[in-house]
Structure 1
């Protein structure tokens, strides 16, 4: 049997070295594959500019625009009620007649007192005039003339007093007719014919309320009111209006406008009062009613809204978001777009509505915000320029978006 020819030592060494080299290359390739980090799978939200209307529902109560409590200015017996209860009255309309007999007698006496005082004054003036001639001829003393002059002045003063008493008597006589000081609605009468009323009594005889226009007093937390005033003309463009809704959900036909906002904070509730004015020609809104006004402050133009699950906060309490940034790669003449992640730590938000934050800075329109897969990114430095985290966007062809119609629906549903 023939034996195989032994290999040359140099050839054997070459074969062993090649085997070791191939093994080493295989191991290096395997290690490189093990060290390669696969793209992270995430979902994104595509931001776009929207018109956000700032609306809020405030607790409110209806009050009359004018209120007149009818009270007697003089005491006496009510002879007649001269209006229909639960009706509209005009300004200056007579409401009650108080017995004028005693006041008429006082007035007549005052008229007589004026006539008597004027007669006495006339005599005093004639006496003084006669004394002037006698004084020139030295027929009377200077003392007699001075006394006549003082009597004349005193008589004039008595006339003034009598006329003042006459005026008082006339006013009291006029007060026996009780008139409405304003135009409005008058309810039930608290007194009847034959009742005794006293001047300035605490209980009004009736109440007249002006219902057109009518006021709605709204209350708002002082902190929110202060923030809204600060953001006016900077964050949002004012376009104030008030829409009124009743407890059954029906909407009032007229819109109102804010008449004023009280600058005094209620110490007990920490709220301020805003007063809105509404037309009320048919008296559908009545004083004392609790209503639900929808208060519109204005609009944030080109607002950026981001799902709340895409906004987080760091250890410093600042809002953060992760943005998918497009990166163009060219390989073999074919252009392929990939994305890497960038973390924004300077996100500012204005407020929130169900499911979304209104972002005022830190995120621009058209950017893609990561809204799912965030747990896969824990512990990574997304802003390391040397080691960018590449992502596989699951919904890149149809990203989550928010339309203007959807936003308006969310705002309206949030007010219910």
Structure 2
């Protein structure tokens, strides 16, 4: 028993000695919890250009089908398939022997008509002299003058025929009617061609610049022309950008140049035409592309990082904002679109607000937090 009392006394003494220390331990052992660390981004109001993405096809700015204007056999091709050609460059030669003969015959006809006219003029002058001497009749004078006039008309006909023969001879060399890129040859040496045939010999396309034809609904076009999709939109411009089939962007900006003046009755869309410089010939006719076209400018909008926006039970977009007192406040947002990894917000956030982007699962409205600023990424260009 004495030993038992001594053990109990020792335990009691130890408890009394350590008790005050336990009572004085800091937070986390029964005291107040420390502020929760969160990552925030300080928001800035800015003017944001809204865009819409429209599907389209590349169209050559000029297309010319090369066809012969005279008949004959193709004896030579004078271009490399796929090469650049200038206006007037020789592309094909047609056998010109028969056309050279026609020119020679026409030249001879002109010479004959010239000689006939010379003789008719001399005869008319002679008859006029005889009439002055009262040696001949007026009828003979009239006949001589008529013969002279007929000879003059005959010479003009012969000269016109010579001109036509020379034109046909020139057309035996088929030239480029348009500057651009010539495609593959659709005929071969030795082929017989005819004037104005349906099948072209080759096709030339102008590829710098090129057009991109896109479709837009009539309602969207009306809104764009009015210059506003929301009450805060204004000053829409015509500059457009292009996305290539591989997902990459095109290096050159384009411009909206025209819109069809009618709406397709079956689809309800309007065709818009954009023009893009194409110095590297990267865009080819028929290629499927997507065009980002500005629809207006939102003044004083906020670009809110998407990772900091969630939805409440009613489906409304919300964000957590840290007040100057480091207290969390929930905001309901008005979102009108997206820009990259950000939402475009026109209501619920203001310039200078500190929005929580990390640590959201640890906080609730009214909680005190320890905010840490995250380095903001550069704002995308409008």
Of 260, 263, 281, which aligns to 1:262? Answer: 260
Distance 1:207 1:219 in 2: 27
Any idea what SS the aligned residue of 1:188 has? coil
Q: 2:107 aligns with which of 111, 115, 129?
A: 111
Is 1:250–2:248 an aligned residue pair?
yes
Structure 1 residue corresponding to 2:87, chosen from 82, 85, 91: 91
Counterpart of 2:290 (choices 286, 289, 292) is: 292
SS state at 2:275 partner: strand
Contact 2:237 2:294 in 1 (8 A): yes
Q: CA deviation at 1:86?
A: 1.8
- Out of 163, 168, 172, the residue aligned to residue 172 of structure 1 is 168
The residue number in structure 2 matching 1:237 is 235
Aligned residues: 293
| Equivalent position of 1:192 in the other structure | 188
> 1:128·1:145 contact (CA, 8 Å) conserved in 2?
yes
After superposition, the Cα gap between the structure-2 partners of 1:161 and 1:291, relative to the gap in structure 1 and judged at 3 Å, is: same
Shift of 1:304: 8.5
> Which consecutive unaligned segments of at least 5 residues does structure 2 have?
1-42, 315-333, 352-364, 370-375
Structure 1 residues 185 and 163: CA distance shift in structure 2, 3 A? same
Which residue matches 1:130? 126
Q: Distance in 2 between matches of 1:179 and 1:396?
A: 81
Give the corresponding residue for 1:12. Answer: none
Q: Describe the shift of the 1:230–1:308 C-alpha distance in structure 2 as closer, same or farther (beyond 3 A).
A: farther
Q: Is the 8 A contact 2:89 2:175 kept in 1?
A: yes
C-alpha deviation, 1:49, in angstroms = 5.5
SS of aligned partner of 2:236: strand
1:87 & 1:244 partners in 2: Cα distance?
26
Normalising to structure 1: TM-score of the pair? Answer: 0.63
Match of 1:16 in 2: none
Aligned position for 1:218: 214
Contact 1:304–1:364 (Cα < 8 Å) also in 2: no
Structure-1 separation of matches of 2:99 and 2:280: 42
Superposed, 1:358-377 pairs within 5 Å as none
> Which structure 2 residues correspond to residues 42-57 of structure 1 after superposition, within 5 A?
50-57=46-53
Is residue 2:200 matched to residue 1:204? yes
Separation (CA, whole Å) in 2 of partners of 1:80 and 1:364:
74
CA distance in 2, matches of 1:305, 1:99: 70
Whether the 8 Å contact between 1:239 and 1:299 is mirrored in structure 2 is no
Matching of residues 370-409 of structure 1 within 5 Å: none
SS in 2 for 1:288: coil
1:9-158 equivalent positions in 2, closer than 5 A: 50-158=46-154
Pair 357,83 (structure 1): closer, same or farther in 2 beyond 3 Å: closer
Query: Cα distance, 1:239 vs. partner?
Result: 2.8
Alignment RMSD: 3.5
SS at 1:201 equivalent: coil
Structure 1 unaligned regions, length at least 5: 1-46, 313-348, 368-393, 399-404
Q: What's the TM-score, normalizing by structure 2?
A: 0.68
